[in-house]
Amino acid sequence: MADVLVWVMERRVVLAERAERLRKELAEIDAEVGRLEAAEVVIGQFIEAERNGQADDRPWPRNWSGSRPARERVECYWSRTAS
């Protein structure tokens, strides 16, 4: 009977560790989904502005690293909680 108890305890530990890994993976996937949702909105807004002749056609710098100078104002009108 003690063997069964040991097996149950070991199995619980293994499954708890697996559940933790899956929670972390799910959090990473959820973050990526959020980034893609934001990109979808931004691209959609650009396409709509382009159709209306209001697109900002400034070229991006060739060495753009994903960050903007601090003095430039950046506005965001999108919220993940907005419907």
**Span 28-54, average pLDDT:** 94
Please give the residue that has the higher pLDDT: either 69 or 5: 5
- Within a 10 A sphere around the Cβ of 38, how many other Cβ atoms? 14
Residue 83 has pLDDT above 50, yes or no: no
Residue 71 has pLDDT above 90, yes or no: no
Report DSSP state, residue 79: -
- Within a 10 A sphere around the Cβ of 55, how many other Cβ atoms? 13
User: Which residues neighbour 42 within 8 Å (Cβ) at sequence distance 6 or greater?
Assistant: 78
Burial 39-48 (b: 16+ CB within 10 A, else e): eebeeeeeee
> Cα–Cα distance between 38 and 43 in angstroms, integer?
9
- To the question of pTM greater than 0.85 for the whole model, the response is no
